[in-house]
Structure 1
Amino acid sequence: MCSGGCAKCLGITLIPLAILSVLANILLFFPAGSVAENNEHISREVFCLGGLLGSGILMIFPALVFLGMKNNDCCGCCGNESCGKRFAMFSSILFAAIGFTGAAYNFIVSAVAIHNGPICYVGPLRGWEYAFKDGDYLRDKTIWNRCLKDTSGLDTKVIITWNLTLFCILLIIGLVQGVLCAIQAINGLIGTICGDCKCCGCCGNDGPV
């Protein structure tokens, strides 16, 4: 496959992942699907915006660049028809690095959030706090009973499933996006060195670069 065509496929894949990441991060601001009475009822990792910024907004830029790689002008510069393609592929490496950084940020935030567990209601004396530590709730589901019904009647054990599911989704998205950006970095390097597999037909040349 042409390096430009490969980049376009990666861009097409990154767009829906970025949108899904943004939606998952937004849902985390509504514990168990309800409106939080105050920000202290929401885990601190949610405010790091790993899905919204890292795998969302920051990922849109490289995705759009990758999408446009297939149609980049290959007429080049200084009389070299492959120069334009090579420069475009080189620039895609820089955007791939930006995307990888955003994906890594989301992955780390999600991993920390899964390890710490959510904030939930543990009783009238202690109120809302992190009920778990060291990821122990992942191994022992019986301790989920530490999360109780709060004064509004919300069973905060549901928040555990809510946070765990959404942060796992963000973790997987960050991992997949990181791999895709790494692939494009390698693809961009190959395209920079070797050029794309064929010219777009301008300058009267339809043959290989």
Structure 2
Amino acid sequence: MCSGGFAKCLGITLIPLAIVCVLCNILLFFPGGKSVESDHITQQVWYCGGILGSGVLMIFPILVFLGLKNNDCCGCCGNESCGRRFAMLSSILFAAVGVVGAGYSVIVSAVSINHGPECVVNITNTEKHWGSPFSNGDYLTNKSFWSACLEPVDVVSWHLSLFSVLLAMGLIQMALCAVQVVNGLLGCLCGDCCGGGDGAV
């Protein structure tokens, strides 16, 4: 497969991953599926790793990857003087943007998984006291600790599941963008189609 066509496949694959990350981050604003005051939402959710890192920043590499198959056939952005090789080389920069964005999401997700969710830890005289009952990821190996969160119901599994999805999707995005770095280098050195033919440089 030509390097431009392979890049397009990577771009298509990144689209559903980015959508899933954005949706997961949005759902995290509703702990346990409940609407709560903004002060009671886990701090890492506000960093918007899924929306900004794996979502918005991923738009740039996606668009570039999708357009490479066409753009590199007549130069960079339609300019014949640029050449196919420069188009592939420039894709490496956008792949790096994707790695940074996905990396940001991965870091935020890992920190949040270790930190645990904000939840109601005590109820006295109908007053609910919120806090972070977990530390250093101790709840990950001992599910009995989850009972420390009284409300919202199932907030721990909600928090852990969604951030785990963000973590996994971010790692996949990083891997795909890293693959495009290699693909871009090969396309730059060998041309669009290393095997020759009409698409070769």
TM-score (norm 2): 0.90
Structure 2 residue matching 1:128: 3-state secondary structure: strand
- For residue 136 of structure 1, report the CA deviation from its aligned partner: 0.4
Is residue 184 of structure 1 aligned with residue 183 of structure 2?
no
Distance 2:72 2:133 in 1: 57
1:163 maps to a residue whose letter is H
* 1:92-131 superposed matches below 5 A: 92-124=91-123, 127-131=129-133
Structure 1 residues 75 and 41, CA, compared in 2 at 3 Å: closer, same or farther? closer
- Equivalence map 1:11-26=2 (5 Å): 11-26=11-26
**Structure-2 residue corresponding to 1:152:** none
Distance 2:86 2:50 in 1: 31
2: distance between equivalents of 1:161 and 1:118?
9
Pairing 1:208–2:200 present: yes
TM-score by length of 1: 0.87
Distance 1:24 1:141 in 2: 23
For 2:132, give the aligned amino acid: Y
Distance change (3 Å), C-alpha of 1:84 and 1:140: same
Partner of 2:141: 139
Please tell me whether Structure 1 or Structure 2 has the larger radius of gyration of its CA atoms. Answer: 1
TM superposition shift of 1:87: 1.0
Q: 1:173 to 1:40 in 2, by over 3 A?
A: same
Give the match for residue 162 of structure 1.
Answer: 158
Q: Deviations over 1:116-165 (max 9, x none)?
A: 010110003681111100100000111111111xxxxxx43511011100
- Is the contact made by 2:75 and 2:87 (CA closer than 8 Å) also made in structure 1? no
* Identity between Structure 1 and Structure 2 (%): 61
> For 1:124, what is the secondary structure of its paired residue?
strand
What one-letter code is carried by the residue in structure 1 that aligns with 2:162?
Answer: L
Give the match's secondary structure for 1:122: strand
Residues paired across the two proteins, number: 194
Cα RMSD over matched residues?
2.0
Distance 2:123 2:107 in 1: 33
Distance 2:116 2:69 in 1: 43
1:44 corresponds to: 43
Check whether the contact 2:8–2:68 (CA below 8 A) recurs between aligned residues: yes
Distance between the aligned counterparts of 1:3 and 1:21, measured in 2? 27
Paired residue secondary structure (2:154): helix
Q: Judge conservation of contact 1:97–1:181 (CA < 8 Å) in 2.
A: yes
1:195 to 161, 184, 191: 191
Compute the displacement of 1:16 (Å): 0.8
